[in-house]
């Protein structure tokens, strides 16, 4: 039985690898649940309990319907009270009663309660509800908790709090958080979502102030053993001892593999002894998951970032590109250690990274992926903890070289004033490098958020408000109001703007009416979208992501032909020649996704350029976990050969521990800022509850800057230049500083004079004449 479940796990891990589910870790129970129910918050209704621990903090009145339907209202439908349904088959999970929203004719119909006066602005609230669906000939449907907020100027806003794929079999737990800005006139919370004809069942609703979470503790790690390989007999000096075949395949040792470490490992480890030239050959592979394996239980330390590196190759007989994946089974969870795709018989580098945050009992590393029947060859597998601090020293030197300039300040005076030996103090007040953030229309109503934004960022990108699904959700029904308001906000605060995005190639992001068009109607709609957007906002966006995520989607290309993507670029340039046009995609920089390797991205960009597409920039989204500097740098080096500016366009890192999050963020910021091809960094938000990714924020919901935020601010401060000293006999003061805006104070005995100057990018020393 144990062998059966191991086999099933490996099949499922490859399923995850092939179909692109989150690569951090996927457990066997979750994978099984995924096939039957996209929600994992499912409660067995046979285990009925008493009332949930609402306490007096719950701002919902009559939350479990003990007082009937008092304080509840129907939203466009009818509501009923129940003790049971279907002759006792549907029972309340908590208490004695539950309610249903019936006779629903629109998806927004549901059950609601007004909470005006009981919910306070600028406080974070958490929402939980026990819900399920009934009827309508569907077995599962999304139930969404939404806030309707009316501001004092009668402006209405709908805020999605949480969504759950509910079923008609069991109660599910709907969970989410929200934060209100300002002092709203009215606030109503309601449930909506399932298709018309499907009832919404609710057993309880809790809305309470988020409990204070104890602050994260900085991980304490002893004896890190940076750069030490945890793989036994990696060089096969002892034959194949320490290795075993996964499945009914055969392992043998042969000679002829590369003797140098793979480049990404070499960049991390520096000078190192050569490999032996011996490699494992795996034959008789009856399935894709079969390959060499080794147990590494007890060798991993918590919170350390491990780099994975190996040479891999496949035998003859392949008729298509093959994926090779280094994977780990960590107490039954699949963890992606890196993957590569190729279609020849050469040796290829596979690289990646991972981190363990909970102490595991059993850990196995294995190499899998190629089609059954193909031989798999592996040489020089290394798994080692990365010394980030050592790399930071190198990055600081690179940063000094590419982001600074030698400066000569020449002082002159129309009066007979001797300026030599006069004390001067130079202070940089702004670095000109673009550091930006994602914002939303709702976010700019938060005054504390706005203060942090305008103080610490000089670029922005809109989260959703420029996307086609937002500006034209139904055909002919346009909504540019939010984008217009954000544009005015940016103008008032001197913020430069990226345009994200004109189109989005992934099908799930495309509004139904667009998907339903025939090809003739679709090409007309595409051209109308280009004309409407780029004519309306001509000259107002410095960049555009033209067709987002073309490596991961192909809706327009499949429907309208390969040339449509190049046409989008060409037409965009014709309509707004001042905007730089970008490609934009994810997992470019981390080695975790064969669809979006640097090589695939380069091929796509060259193909677009050959079709006449004026691609002007390369967008790397940067939604990353466990970043390793040498892997990120390798991707940047490869992309840099195209000679186009590279921007990180949606950068975020996620960890429940804010110190680990801070460390990961520092890796990404230092790697990007130290690379000559990178010309801008945009974070995908920074304020909790205003970000699409959990545990990625720099500032907590109620305004406290966490360790990640402090690290960001510390780096921004590090990248400002300061100089103090005395003017020389030749009337000059020399120093080396970052590009940007400076203030200089000249301290004469009877007065102080202040001047401002700007240092632009350049390699030769910059002479600045300062008249006194």
Strands (E), 423-525: 423-431, 435-439, 459-462, 496-504
Of 591, 592, 588, nearest to 603 (Cα)? 588
Q: How many CA atoms lie within 13 A of 6 on its CB side?
A: 17
In Å, how far are 66, 453, 517, 704 from 161, measured between CA atoms? Answer: 25, 23, 31, 22
CA distance 235 to 413: 71
CB crowding 727-765: b at 16 or more within 10 Å, else e: beeebebebebbbbebebebeeeeeeeebeeebeeeeee
**Three-state secondary structure readout of 586-604:** CCCCCCCCHHHCHHHHHHH
- Spatial neighbors of 630 by CB under 8 A, at least 6 apart, are 264, 265, 267, 268, 307, 386, 391
90 DSSP 8-state letter: B
218 DSSP 8-state letter: P
CA distance 26 to 237: 34
In Å, how far are 6, 35, 289, 365, 460 from 1, measured between CA atoms? Answer: 9, 22, 18, 21, 54
Contact 340, 663 (CB under 8 A): no
In Å, how far are 470, 626, 704 from 396, measured between CA atoms? Answer: 42, 21, 29
CA distance 60 to 72: 10
Q: Collapsing DSSP states into helix, strand and coil, what is residue 690?
A: coil
Residue 664: enclosing H or E segment and its boundaries? helix 658-673
Max Cα-Cα span within the chain: 103
CA distance 422 to 466: 53
Contact 387, 707 (CB under 8 A): no
Contact 446, 687 (CB under 8 A): yes
CA distance 214 to 556: 48
Sheet arrangement for strand 732-738: 732-738, 404-412, 766-771
Active-site annotation holder among 349, 650, 666, 688: 650
Q: Which two tokens stand for residue 520?
A: 């003739």
CA distance 723 to 425: 6
Please report how the helices 598-610 and 629-640 are oriented relative to each other, as an axis angle in degrees rounded to 10. Answer: 20
* Helices and strands (H and E) in the chain: how many: 15, 38
Strand duo 580-585 + 543-548: pairing: parallel
Q: Which two tokens stand for residue 587?
A: 């997992």
- Spatial neighbors of 194 by CB under 8 A, at least 6 apart, are 104, 107, 133, 136, 138, 141, 142, 143, 166, 200
650 tagged catalytic:
yes
Contact 148, 158 (CB under 8 A): yes
Contact 226, 220 (CB under 8 A): no
CA distance 726 to 678: 36
**Chain centroid, CA 697 distance in Å:** 11
Residues known to be catalytic? 650
């Amino acid at each position: 039985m144990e062998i059966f479940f191991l086999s099933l796990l490996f099949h499922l891990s490859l399923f995850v690898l092939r179909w692109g589910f989150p690569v951090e870790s996927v457990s066997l129970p979750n994978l099984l649940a995924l096939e039957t129910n996209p929600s994992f918050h499912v409660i067995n209704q046979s285990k009925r309990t008493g009332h949930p621990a609402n306490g007096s903090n719950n701002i919902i009145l009559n939350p479990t319907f003990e007082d009937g339907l008092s304080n509840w209202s129907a939203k466009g439908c009818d509501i009923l009270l129940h003790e049971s349904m279907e002759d006792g088959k549907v029972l309340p999970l908590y208490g004695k009663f539950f309610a249903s929203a019936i006779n629903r004719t629109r998806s927004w119909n549901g059950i609601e309660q007004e909470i005006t006066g009981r919910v306070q602005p600028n406080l974070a609230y958490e929402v939980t509800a026990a819900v399920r669906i009934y009827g309508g000939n569907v077995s599962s449907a999304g139930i969404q908790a939404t806030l309707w907020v009316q501001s004092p100027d009668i402006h209405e806003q709908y805020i999605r709090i949480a969504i759950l794929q509910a079923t008609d079999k069991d109660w599910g737990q709907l969970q989410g958080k929200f934060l209100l800005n300002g002092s709203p006139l009215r606030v109503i919370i309601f449930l909506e979502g399932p298709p018309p004809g499907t009832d919404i069942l609710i057993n309880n609703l809790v809305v309470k102030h988020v409990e204070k979470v104890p602050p994260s503790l900085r991980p304490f790690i002893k004896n890190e053993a940076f750069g030490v390989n945890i793989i036994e007999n990696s060089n096969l000096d002892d034959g194949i001892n320490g290795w075993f075949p996964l499945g009914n395949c055969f392992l043998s040792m042969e000679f002829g593999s590369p003797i140098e470490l793979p480049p990404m490992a070499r960049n991390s480890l520096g000078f190192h002894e050569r490999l032996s030239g011996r490699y494992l050959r795996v034959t008789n592979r009856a399935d894709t998951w079969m390959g060499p394996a080794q147990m590494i239980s007890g060798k991993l330390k918590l919170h350390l970032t491990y780099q994975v590196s190996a040479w891999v190759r496949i035998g003859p007989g392949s008729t298509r590109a093959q994926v090779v994946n280094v994977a780990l089974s960590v107490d039954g969870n699949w963890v992606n250690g890196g993957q590569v795709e190729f279609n020849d018989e050469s040796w290829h580098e596979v690289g990646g990274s991972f981190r363990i945050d909970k102490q595991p009992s059993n850990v196995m590393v294995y190499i899998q992926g190629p089609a059954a029947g193909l031989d798999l060859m592996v040489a020089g597998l290394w798994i080692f903890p990365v010394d980030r601090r050592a790399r930071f020293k190198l990055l600081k030197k690179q940063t000094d070289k590419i982001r600074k300039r030698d400066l000569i300040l020449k002082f002159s005076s129309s009066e007979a004033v001797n300026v030599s030996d006069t004390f001067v103090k130079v202070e940089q007040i702004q670095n000109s490098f673009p550091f930006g953030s994602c914002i939303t229309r709702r976010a700019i109503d938060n005054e504390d958020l706005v203060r942090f934004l305008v103080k610490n960022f000089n670029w922005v990108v809109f989260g959703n408000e420029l996307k086609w699904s937002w500006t034209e959700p139904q055909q002919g029904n346009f909504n540019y109001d939010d984008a217009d308001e954000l544009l005015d906000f940016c103008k008032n605060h001197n913020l430069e703007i990226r345009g994200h995005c004109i189109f989005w190639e992934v099908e799930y992001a495309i509004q139904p009416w667009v998907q339903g068009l025939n090809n003739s109607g679709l090409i007309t709609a595409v051209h109308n979208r280009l004309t409407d957007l780029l004519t309306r906002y001509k000259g107002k966006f410095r960049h555009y992501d033209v067709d987002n995520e073309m490596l991961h989607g192909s809706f327009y290309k499949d429907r309208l032909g390969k040339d449509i993507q190049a046409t989008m670029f060409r037409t965009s340039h014709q309509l707004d020649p001042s905007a730089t046009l970008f490609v934009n995609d994810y997992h470019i920089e981390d080695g975790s996704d064969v669809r979006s390797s640097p090589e695939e991205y380069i091929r796509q960009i060259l193909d677009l350029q050959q079709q006449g597409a004026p691609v002007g920039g390369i967008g790397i989204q940067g939604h990353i976990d466990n970043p390793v500097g040498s892997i990120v740098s390798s991707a940047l080096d490869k992309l840099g050969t195209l000679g186009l500016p590279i921007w990180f366009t949606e950068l975020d890192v996620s960890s429940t521990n804010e110190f680990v999050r801070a460390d990961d963020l520092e890796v990404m910021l230092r790697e990007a800022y130290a690379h000559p091809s990178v010309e801008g960094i945009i974070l995908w938000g920074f304020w909790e509850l205003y970000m699409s990714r959990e545990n990625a924020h720099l500032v907590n919901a109620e305004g406290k800057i966490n360790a990640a935020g402090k690290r960001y601010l510390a780096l921004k401060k590090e990248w400002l230049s300061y100089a103090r000293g005395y003017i020389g006999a030749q009337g000059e003061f020399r120093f080396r500083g970052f590009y940007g805006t400076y203030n200089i104070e000249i301290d004469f005995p009877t007065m102080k004079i202040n001047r401002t100057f700007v240092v632009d990018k350049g390699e030769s020393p910059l002479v600045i004449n300062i008249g006194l």
